[in-house]
């Protein structure tokens, strides 16, 4: 699969049975149909988010991003209160794209709760 942001190839990595596509260049990550259930298993999965957050922050400025699977324009999800949570979500397949460094932040306990709620609401 091709990274929707930098257009390099993404590789499939497996974390506790959950398949995650990670870009070999910018290290952005793609989750197929992100489920609340899956998120629970992903707790502590911050080690898979190995990219440079400064690179991620730069790619996060790209707002017009097509879903790597269905090619429809993804929604830019942004919540600022009480924590800043941002990622791209596909309205069609409900996949989610995280720039490098973003996902790791949400795996911290307090933010994790908020993050789970947001994921539930966008589905």
Selected binder of Zn ion within 20, 23, 45, 96 (CB under 5 A): 23
Strands 18-23 and 29-31: antiparallel
Selected binder of Zn ion within 39, 65, 90, 96 (CB under 5 A): 90
Residues numbered 30-89 forming contacts with Zn ion, rule: CB under 5 A: 67, 69-70
Q: Specify the residue, 68 or 112, whose C-beta has the smaller distance to Zn ion.
A: 68
Task: For residue 20, state whether it binds Zn ion (rule: CB under 5 A).
Answer: no
CB 52 within 8 A of CB 60: no
Nearest by Cα to 28 from 77, 98, 106, 102: 98
Report CA-CA distances (Å) from 65 to 44, 89, 112. 28, 10, 25
Task: For residue 92, state whether it binds Zn ion (rule: CB under 5 A).
Answer: yes
Q: Specify the residue, 94 or 111, whose C-beta has the smaller distance to Zn ion.
A: 94
The CA distance from 122 to 71, in Å, is: 18
| Footprint of Zn ion (CB under 5 A) | 3, 5-6, 23, 25-26, 28, 67, 69-70, 90, 92-93
């Amino acid at each position: 699969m091709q990274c929707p942001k930098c257009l390099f190839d993404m590789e499939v990595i497996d974390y506790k049975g959950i398949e995650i596509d990670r870009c070999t260049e910018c290290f952005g990550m793609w989750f197929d149909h992100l489920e609340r259930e899956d998120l629970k298993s992903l707790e502590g999965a911050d080690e898979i988010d190995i990219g440079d957050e400064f690179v991620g922050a730069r790619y996060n400025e790209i707002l017009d991003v097509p879903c790597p699977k269905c090619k429809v324009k993804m929604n830019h999800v942004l919540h600022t209160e009480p924590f800043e949570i941002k990622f791209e979500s596909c309205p069609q397949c409900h996949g989610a794209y995280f720039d490098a460094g973003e996902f790791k932040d949400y795996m911290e306990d307090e933010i994790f709760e908020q993050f789970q709620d947001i994921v539930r609401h966008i589905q």
